């Protein structure tokens, strides 16, 4: 079987295909960093599963305040974890809403509704990103 | 353009693609479920924090209950592992020959992680720690 090289055009679908792979792997990596850091920063002794999940996926003082562990803000309220949260939120939200778009467009095929659904998902994406980054920065 | 198929949902389920087909279906279903559940949780947490809404608080109480967490952890762990398999096989297409073995490996990794999670969740629920 002979192989040939194909030069793919830089279409929107192609870029999102690549982005889905990169963001998926990044999310797994960021989650691993979150779990290890949660254990390193003191979840070792008093951990329960919801708390560990909060510390892993959204280590925000306002988020982990619902846990029953008293000194949750220790170690989390600094710029490094804010950047990590913004990364995890950006990758997660974009990956998720792009996946929703792909699945919906696979189902409806060629349709008049396609640009409207695209616009609606775009608005949801912007809204989710803005409120998440607002919560990360102003809490 | 795509193919012009006239295949309904239930007719499509009769396609005998085996394990990889079910992994594909589960990947889509769990993806949609994650956008729905985690998206609802994000919006509910935002409104719970900003306005103290009762509806948002109740949504979060359901979301954080251990029964619902058993479903959510299945969704997240399966989607993550399956996505890693897809990404790795796409980066090194030579391994596509072993895609059925990769699927088995994926389940062998999935079962202990998810089993441990469910064990801890049920143990804590019986002990009344929530």
pLDDT digits (tens, 9 = 90+) for A12-51: 888 888 999 999 999 999 988 888 887 777 655 666 666 7
A73 in contact with B at a CB cutoff of 8 Å?
A: no
Cα–Cα distance, A30 to A80 (Å, whole number): 13
The verdict on residue A131 lying in a domain is yes
**Tokens matching residue B20:** 């990889």
Cα–Cα distance, A85 to B80 (Å, whole number): 18
Q: What is the CATH number of domain B17-127?
A: 1.20.1300
B80 neighbourhood in chain A, CB within 8 Å: 24, 27-28, 31
B64 neighbourhood in chain A, CB within 8 Å: 50
Alpha-carbon gap: A75 to the closest alpha carbon of chain B (Å) = 22
Q: Which of A125, B44, A60, B99 is CA-nearest to residue A117? A: A125
Instruction: Count CB pairs under 8 A between chains A and B.
Output: 58
Q: Which of B59, B33, B65, B41 is CA-nearest to residue A135? A: B41
Q: Do B38 and A62 touch (CB under 8 A)?
A: no
Torsion sign (Cα): B15, B21, B25, B28: negative
Q: How many domains does chain A have?
A: 1
The verdict on residue A1 lying in a domain is no
Least confident range of A30-34, A98-102, B5-9, B73-77: B5-9
Query: Could you tell me if A94 and A19 are in contact, meaning their C-beta atoms sit under 8 angstroms apart?
Result: yes
Task: With cut-offs at 50, 70 and 90, classify the pLDDT of residue A75.
Answer: low
Cα–Cα distance, B57 to B80 (Å, whole number): 28
Cα–Cα distance, A33 to A59 (Å, whole number): 12
ipTM of the complex: 0.80
pLDDT digits (tens, 9 = 90+) for B70-102: 898 899 999 999 999 989 888 888 888 888 888
Domain ranges of chain B: 17-127
Q: Please, what's the largest Cα pairwise distance for chain B? A: 56
Question: Tell me, what's the pLDDT at B1?
Answer: 44
Q: Which pTM value belongs to this model? A: 0.82
Mean of the per-residue pLDDT values of chain A: 80
User: Helices (H) and strands (E) in chain B — how many of each?
Assistant: 5, 0
Backbone angles phi, psi at B129, to 5 degrees: -85, -5
Query: Could you tell me if A51 and A67 are in contact, meaning their C-beta atoms sit under 8 angstroms apart?
Result: yes
Q: Do A96 and B69 touch (CB under 8 A)?
A: no
Mutate: best of B30, B83, B93, partner A, most A CBs <10 A: B83
Q: Which domain holds residue A90?
A: 12-137
């Amino acid at each position: 079987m002979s192989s040939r090289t194909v030069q793919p055009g830089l279409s929107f679908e192609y870029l999102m295909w690549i982005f889905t792979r990169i963001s998926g792997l990044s999310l797994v990596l960021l989650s691993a960093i979150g779990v290890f850091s949660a254990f390193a920063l003191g979840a070792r002794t008093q951990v329960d599963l919801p708390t560990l999940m909060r510390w892993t996926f959204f280590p925000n003082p306002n988020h982990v305040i619902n846990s029953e562990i008293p000194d949750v803000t220790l170690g989390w309220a600094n710029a490094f974890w804010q950047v990590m949260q913004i990364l995890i939120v950006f990758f997660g939200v974009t990956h998720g809403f792009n996946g929703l778009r792909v699945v919906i467009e696979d189902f409806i095929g060629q349709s008049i509704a396609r640009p409207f659904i695209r616009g609606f998902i775009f608005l949801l994406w912007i809204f989710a990103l803005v409120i998440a980054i607002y919560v990360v920065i102003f809490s | 353009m795509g193919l012009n198929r006239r295949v309904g949902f239930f007719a499509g389920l009769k396609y005998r693609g085996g394990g990889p087909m079910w992994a594909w279906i589960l990947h889509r279903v769990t993806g949609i479920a994650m956008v729905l559940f985690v998206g609802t949780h994000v919006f509910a947490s935002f409104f719970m924090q900003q306005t103290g809404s009762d509806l948002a608080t109740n949504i979060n109480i359901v979301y954080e209950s251990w029964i619902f967490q058993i479903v959510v952890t299945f969704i997240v762990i399966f989607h993550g592992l399956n996505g890693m398999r897809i990404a790795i096989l796409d980066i090194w297409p030579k391994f596509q020959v072993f895609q059925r073995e990769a699927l088995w490996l994926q389940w062998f990794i999935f079962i202990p992680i998810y089993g441990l999670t469910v064990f801890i969740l049920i143990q804590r629920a019986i002990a009344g720690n929530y």
